[in-house]
Structure 1
Amino acid sequence: MAGMDNQAYPQRGGNAADVLRLLVRALLYGGLGCLALLTTIAVAAFLGPMIALDLYTPAVAAWCTVFTAVVVQALPFLLLGTLVSAAIGTLTPENLFTRLLPRSPALAVPVAGAAGAVLPGCECASVPVADSLIRRGVTPAAALAFLLSAPAINPVVLVATSIAFPGQPHMVLARLGASLATAVAVGWLWLRFGDDRWLRPAVRRSPTQPHRSRLHHFASDLHHDFLHSGGFLVAGAAAAATFNIAVPRSALSAFTGSPWLSVPLLAVLAVVLCVCSEADAFVAASLSGFSPTAKLTFMVVGPMVDLKLIALQSGTFGRAFALRFSSITWVVAVTGSVLVGWWLL
């Protein structure tokens, strides 16, 4: 395996010149696409409200504001995820991750879930990273457990939760426990009932050209992943903005008094609002009319199932996978949040 890896990616040395060449090539390959995406965001941010005022449609201005907020807060983490994904796919040894994880898939799932604590990113970053892990031979169940846990239990998210809920360490503990339990449970469910035919990784060009180095393929994969995932991020953000404008807030107040309705309501809101996992705790804390368990459900479901995530997963693994995976994850996340909330809150 190591010989095949070296043949596919011939070495050029590991000095500072190679690192500089890597950065230059990444900018050259991804610069045009990044510029186009950033230009689209700038048009939505600055020209959108101006057009809305000219047309006397405040709803359009509000739509542009929500759309821009979702894309801008997710874009840096999406770039981080594609950088990590390209590095995993091209710069790491072929069997590195299979050596680090336990040989037993049942044990690899909780280990991969706990490893999600080391990647301080949002849910957008976890999708391309999970894709690269699967390509590197990691069992899909473990990669999917990592995909779910990374945006939910990393230190940045837990610190933000403690700030949003001052003097309530049990809320931080509840979020950590419910999120990790959900990620592991979904991984085990995939291991038992999942079908690899549902998991369709995106097709890339085969890196077999002998005259191209690992650095070239790193830049090429970065360019591909960023533009590919960025398009689905924009689609998910547009869907979230449409919901925010179409559904009046007064319609939600009728559910606050019922504990049986408030939990599924906030679980649905977490899917459609697409709040970044680093910020969702502050949104949850502002929902003063809802129970602590409902707020916990909002924070557990959001990083694992939302419209932009479903769009990203559809583009990376296929729609058949995204629909099945998001549905079962939503059910497990709501169930785990209710159980943990009943126990700790």
Structure 2
Amino acid sequence: MTTTEAASTRGDGRGADATQGWQFNSSLVLTMVLVLVVGLQGPIRRALSAPVMQSWMTVFVAVVVQALPFLVLGVLLSAIIAVFVPPSFFARALPSRPSLAVPVAGMAGAVLPGCECASVPVAGALVRRGVTPAAALAFLLSAPAINPVVLAATAVAFPGNPQMVLARFVASLLVACAMGWLWQRLGRTDWMRPPDRPSFGGLGKGAAFWGSVRHDVVHAGGFLVVGAMAAATLKTVVPAGWLRAAANDPLVSILALAFLAVVLSICSEADAFVAASLSQFSLTARLAFLVVGPMIDLKLFAMQAATFGRGFALRFAPATFTLAVLVSALVGAVLL
């Protein structure tokens, strides 16, 4: 055996030993974790049976169970429309004048029963097909908030306040159209990067449909769970005095729930149930939560930056947030 072969053999042996050691250590860690869980099952069971945890789990399960059917329905319908309805349909349906195309595109958001995760790629497809960016942005903002699934979920979440459905529809449509007109007047072409091709454009209809469904279920479902956990924590862990202090100040309550909507990044099919659980806040503050969330949150900012460029998102997101808060306060004062 040559020196090189011997060194290679020793090297392979060390690699095999290292691999075996890593596998052994991984198994050991897993075993130790399982033993620890079994050994601490008594304290864990007692912790879960504490009144505060029972209350937390009740709120969490209630929010998830109420919202899940609407989330699944919205994802399925969104995938059907995104895959089987060509984007050129929307381009042909819009007026040629941008000032008229903006409100028509805003109202057209009602035909996309999906969450904001679906509205961003559809808006990108509209721009690629030649739709004026102002109209595409109006569609982007209105689609997650005024579609039938979201409005039906809002009606179910607020059975004693049917005016919340109208307020959400009016406020969201006003913000979408105003942002479209604002972009038409002040926006510059170099602020918006041309969007890339669709994520599932190279696949067949069936594969694109199930790919869209899997993507939206994983993302929207994950954000639903996070939102339900946050709502349950606010309801049971945060001192009631803190929430009352924020809720009793009209301006602070609106801003608090608007920022909460940005941070939680909840799917629009589920956010009404989270808002309904925040019963210590006024209807106007919860309306701000419902209007801001589908238009600008952390995941939407990332998606908008990826689709249209970071420069666009850095300008568009703050303007949308500010306008959404102001319109929500105005519409809430009139309708709620």
TM-score of the aligned structures, taking structure 1 as reference length? 0.66
Question: Which one-letter code corresponds to 1:300 in the other structure?
Answer: V
| Residue 325 of structure 2, aligned match among 316, 334, 345 | 334
Judging changes above 3 Å, is the alpha-carbon distance between structure 1 residues 288 and 53 closer, same or farther for their aligned structure 2 residues?
Answer: farther
| Residue 309 of structure 1, aligned match among 291, 300, 317 | 300
Which residue does 1:268 correspond to in 2?
Answer: 259
Alpha-carbon offset, residue 202 of structure 1: 3.6
Question: Which one-letter code corresponds to 1:260 in the other structure?
Answer: L
Task: Spell out the pairing of 1:227-306 with structure 2 (5 A cutoff).
Answer: 249-250=238-239, 252-306=243-297
Instruction: Name the stretch that deviates more: 268-277 or 159-168.
Output: 159-168
**CA distance in 1: counterparts of 2:36 and 2:105, whole angstroms:** 47
Matched, 1:174 2:167: yes
Judging changes above 3 Å, is the alpha-carbon distance between structure 1 residues 259 and 275 closer, same or farther for their aligned structure 2 residues?
Answer: same
**CA distance in 2: counterparts of 1:287 and 1:202, whole angstroms:** 37
Which residue does 1:106 correspond to in 2?
Answer: 99
Alpha-carbon offset, residue 87 of structure 1: 5.0
| Residue 194 of structure 1, aligned match among 176, 184, 187 | 187
Alpha-carbon offset, residue 138 of structure 1: 0.8
Judging changes above 3 Å, is the alpha-carbon distance between structure 1 residues 237 and 320 closer, same or farther for their aligned structure 2 residues?
Answer: farther
TM-score of the aligned structures, taking structure 2 as reference length? 0.67
**CA distance in 2: counterparts of 1:172 and 1:327, whole angstroms:** 25
Which residue does 1:143 correspond to in 2?
Answer: 136
Report how many aligned residue pairs link the two structures: 276
- Root-mean-square deviation (CA, aligned residues, Å) is 4.0
Question: Which one-letter code corresponds to 1:196 in the other structure?
Answer: T
* 1:231-269 superposed Cα distances (whole Å, 9 cap, x missing partner): 998998999899999997345553122112100000000
**CA distance in 2: counterparts of 1:138 and 1:53, whole angstroms:** 57
Whether the aligned pair in 2 keeps the contact of 1:236 and 1:308 (CA below 8 Å) is no
Judging changes above 3 Å, is the alpha-carbon distance between structure 1 residues 223 and 317 closer, same or farther for their aligned structure 2 residues?
Answer: farther
Which residue does 1:117 correspond to in 2?
Answer: 110
Question: Which one-letter code corresponds to 1:249 in the other structure?
Answer: V
Alpha-carbon offset, residue 337 of structure 1: 0.5
Larger Rg: 2
Task: Spell out the pairing of 1:6-85 with structure 2 (5 A cutoff).
Answer: 84-85=81-82
Alpha-carbon offset, residue 128 of structure 1: 0.7
Question: Which one-letter code corresponds to 2:137 in the other structure?
Answer: L
Matched, 1:343 2:334: yes
**CA distance in 1: counterparts of 2:157 and 2:215, whole angstroms:** 34
Alpha-carbon offset, residue 143 of structure 1: 0.8
Matched, 1:158 2:151: yes
Alpha-carbon offset, residue 98 of structure 1: 3.4
| Residue 131 of structure 1, aligned match among 121, 124, 127 | 124
Whether the aligned pair in 2 keeps the contact of 1:152 and 1:179 (CA below 8 Å) is yes
